[in-house]
Chains A and B, each alone.
Chain A
């Protein structure tokens, strides 16, 4: 995989290239079906991770839109100015606009750096998905797994901490549609562990498995318990890390 990334990094100087970060060996293969260039192969055994050849990729972005696990991104370094353009899928309902400043986050929802939205493109798929392209310093580019609104974000930088005052109806978890008010209700009932909070409030039990909401939940818990984020821990992500059709998992029509 590492070798792949070096290749992606190099090729991205010439054209946008897909970066496939699907490490979990789970039964899933929409990426293979998405790619018309034959750059991604999952093969017979659906449980094996996809094999990807950056050399064949033309950067069309179909796989980015179709991967249900939001595990594929595009990297573009043609600018050659130390900035890179990274394209990520955006399946949240909030309005995102070109020119907007947003946070680029890693796989755990931690803020990596600030970026600017340079392009938004709808792409078909199971749900039409928006592909959001952001411009960020290139040394962070390989780590980006998503973006978050700035005003709602509760990242690690000082500026963000000051912005913490969120409204009660702020949606902590969009997949399961849980508001901050509901989370606070469970905290008031006395729940003090991330696991218990997650199980009862349902935050982090949806499609994204916590990529977008985990950080927020830990923050809420930390505010009440005054424990550091390390002490609060992280929650376990349970397979399938990416959603998969029941029929496929059960080996029917697949």
Chain B
């Protein structure tokens, strides 16, 4: 506890959101310190899929935020030294009933009205871009702007570049308290000593509620478990990121698209599949509220496998070599919580990204850096204010 450090800005959390925030702050010349309790990408950002999916976002502000974020990825590919395995591959959502098709059609129309190109495909049209699907599949919607990235490489790449630009990264260093005097952040107490700083960004994922308590603000972020199966690597055979309509249902809590079976409902089961650059299939996933437990369970593994075979029966002979679970930093409405808090100057929230943090990381980093350094943002972030919940 001897050492006293200081930094212009402290970012709490070395997940994708903290790393992106540090990166954009450094680009503006700020002095930044990332304080990470464990290691980079040790939280949700290292235990998730790499969907950069626009058509799954909630209509309105959420979608606009995601579309702005999507525009930033190509510049990151250019600027970062790590290969983030970005692939502008387009994304599919598959329907297994006519009701789901109807819903996808309605959504496609609404999304198009907001400027996102989405095409509805009949079963035969679907065949042209995804040759083999299960018998149940009635068609789907295709969004050419959907893409894929390696979330771990993205997090590492952003943090590494920030470091190159002068950021300090404290690993294995937990924030234990935040000292506020005269309504302003002054000091951050950590397990490795104190840091003098007048600006703190909370990007602590599921640790954000705890951080909020330090300044007596309730940050409603709960861990939501998601489980994923990993198969042995294969030649590239899956050209797009693919999800089932129920994934949309459980994610956005859309009544018409929720799974019918009780067990699936309980697990929050929704089909997702992507093939990574290394060739492995990642098959997802679940949405469960089980506290901070990040174990995988046999029931969920069975259910994910069974569900995946409904959509892509031809993968049945692949070996599942691993499973993992991550905890999404979930907000009550699934939208991120961005912005300042009342009564504590110099404290900023960049959390609650729920199931979309990878996709939203670049734009979050960018607007947060603007907010911290200039006090205003190039994009209206008021829909993501903490105070929308009150």
Chain A residues packing against B (C-beta within 8 Å): 25-27, 47, 68, 176, 186, 189-193, 195-196, 199-200, 202, 205-207, 209, 238-240, 243-247, 249-253
List, in ascending order, chain B residues with CB within 8 A of A192's CB: 39, 171-172
List, in ascending order, chain B residues with CB within 8 A of A193's CB: 38-39, 42, 171-172
| Chief secondary structure at chain A's binding surface | loop
Tell me the nearest residue of chain A to B325, going by C-beta: A238
Interface mask (B25-40 → A, CB under 8 Å = 1, otherwise 0):
0000000000000111
- How many Å lie between the Cα of A240 and that of B300 in the bound state? 12
Chain B residues packing against A (C-beta within 8 Å): 38-42, 46, 152-153, 156, 160, 163, 169, 171-172, 229-232, 278, 283, 296, 298, 301-302, 305-309, 313, 315-324
- B41 near A209: Cβ-Cβ < 8 Å: no
Name the one of A190, A205, A247 contacting B317, with C-beta atoms under 8 angstroms. Answer: A247
- B322 near A250: Cβ-Cβ < 8 Å: no
Name the one of B46, B163, B309 contacting A250, with C-beta atoms under 8 angstroms. Answer: B309
Name the one of B39, B301, B306 contacting A196, with C-beta atoms under 8 angstroms. Answer: B39
| Chief secondary structure at chain B's binding surface | mixed
- A252 near B306: Cβ-Cβ < 8 Å: yes
Least distance between B205 CB and chain A CB atoms (Å): 15
- A240 near B322: Cβ-Cβ < 8 Å: yes
List, in ascending order, chain A residues with CB within 8 A of B160's CB: 189-190
- B316 near A238: Cβ-Cβ < 8 Å: no
- B296 near A238: Cβ-Cβ < 8 Å: yes
Tell me the nearest residue of chain B to A198, going by C-beta: B46
Show 9 residue pairs from A and B whose CB-CB distance is below 8 angstroms, ordered by the A residue: A26-B298, A186-B156, A191-B40, A200-B156, A205-B230, A238-B322, A240-B301, A245-B319, A249-B229
Which 10 A/B pairs are nearest by Cβ-Cβ distance?
A247-B316, A250-B305, A193-B39, A196-B39, A249-B305, A250-B306, A243-B319, A250-B309, A243-B321, A199-B46
List, in ascending order, chain B residues with CB within 8 A of A202's CB: 278
Known contacts A238-B322, A246-B317; A199 and B306 CB within 8 A of each other: no
- How many Å lie between the Cα of A251 and that of B230 in the bound state? 17
